[in-house]
Amino acid sequence: MTAILFDSTVTRKSSQSFGRGIDRERPTPFEPSSQDRAWAAESFDSLDQARYQAEKNARLEDSAREAEWNDQFRLAPGLCEWCGEPSDWLDPVHKLCAECMTDAENSTIACMNKVAMGEYRVF
Ligand SMILES: [Zn+2]
């Protein structure tokens, strides 16, 4: 069995130098050619454009889905729920125009008067 001790106090000098086997005669480090650089720039640019387009399409699809979701809860703006006429003011609860809201309130009051006095009328 072989044991490896890492905290040995004995210093041992290697007979061979560090970095042996590396070719020291190479004059300059590796430099990519201009064709390599052009290819890399084009490749990275196309990848970046593809990523940008994918993010843009995802944002557009998200907003389309959000608009589609919101549309199902939206009534046609400004149309009275009773008479169907366009109006610039609608009751926020019943979505009735002013005339239909007044008619509805008068009808309710007349019904209460009918119960109380026997007459279907509004004073
Ligand atoms: Zn109306």
Average confidence (pLDDT) over 59-81: 86
| Cα 84 to middle of ligand 1, angstroms | 6
| Cα 85 to middle of ligand 1, angstroms | 6
Average of per-residue pLDDT values in the chain: 87
Alpha helices in the chain (DSSP H): 34-71, 98-117
Average confidence (pLDDT) over 36-62: 97
Answer whether 38's CB lies under 8 Å from 32's CB.
Answer: no
pLDDT in tens, 66-75: 999 988 877 6
With bands split at pLDDT 50, 70 and 90, how would you rate the model's confidence at 77? low
Identify the weakest region by mean pLDDT among 9-18, 28-37, 78-87, 102-111.
Answer: 9-18
| Cα 79 to middle of ligand 1, angstroms | 8
Answer whether 97's CB lies under 8 Å from 80's CB.
Answer: yes
| Cα 107 to middle of ligand 1, angstroms | 14
